[in-house]
Amino acid sequence: MGIWAVNHGVLVKIFVLCMMVSSVICIGANWGTQSTHPLPPSTIVKLLRDNGIQKVKLFDVDPSILYALGGSGIEVTVGIPNDMLSSLANSVAAAELWVQRNVSAHISSNSVDIRYVAVGNEPFLTTLNGTYTGTTYPALQNVQAALIKAGLGTRVKNNGIGNLSIIVGEVGWPTDGDLHANIQYAQRFNQGFMSHMGKGTPMRPGTVDAYLFSLIDEDAKSIKPGNFERHWGVFNYDGTPKYNLSLGSNSVGLVAASNVQYLSRQWCVMSSNTSLDDTQVAPSVSYACSHADCTSLGYGTSCGNLDARGNISYAFNSYYQENNQLLSACQFPGLSVVTTTDPSQGVCVYKVMIRTSTLGGGANVSSGFLSEPSNLLLLLFMILLTLL
* 192 shares a domain with 145: yes
166 versus 43: which is more confidently predicted? 43
Alpha-carbon distance of 28 to 351, in angstroms, equals 28
Active site residue 170: yes
User: 328 lies in which domain range?
Assistant: 267-339
Query: 3-class DSSP state for residue 328?
Result: helix
Give tens-digit pLDDT for 288-331.
999 999 999 999 999 999 999 999 999 999 999 999 999 999 99
* 229 shares a domain with 297: no
Alpha-carbon distance of 193 to 56, in angstroms, equals 18
Domain boundary among 339, 363, 379: 339
Active site residue 122: yes
HEC assignment per residue over 94-149: HHHHHHHHHHHHHHHHHCCCEEEEEECCCCCCHHHCCCCHHHHHHHHHHHHHHHHH
CA distances from 202 to 20, 196, 208, 209, 210 (A): 19, 11, 12, 16, 17
* 284 shares a domain with 221: no
pLDDT number for residue 162: 58
* 206 shares a domain with 150: yes
Q: Is the pLDDT of residue 235 over 90?
A: yes
* 171 shares a domain with 51: yes
Catalytic-labelled residue, pool 75, 96, 170, 322: 170
Of 105, 127, 125, residue with least CA distance to 114: 105
Q: How many CB atoms lie within 10 A of CB 91?
A: 14
What is the pLDDT averaged over residues 339-349?
97
pTM of this prediction?
0.85
Strands (E), the chain: 3-6, 13-16, 27-31, 55-58, 75-80, 114-119, 167-171, 209-212, 267-270, 336-339
The answer to whether position 354 is within a domain reads no
* 319 shares a domain with 177: no
pLDDT number for residue 259: 96
Beta bridge partners of 3: 16, 119
Which residues have CB under 8 Å from 257's CB, separation 6+? 39, 43, 44, 46, 47, 235, 238, 239, 240
The answer to whether position 108 is within a domain reads yes
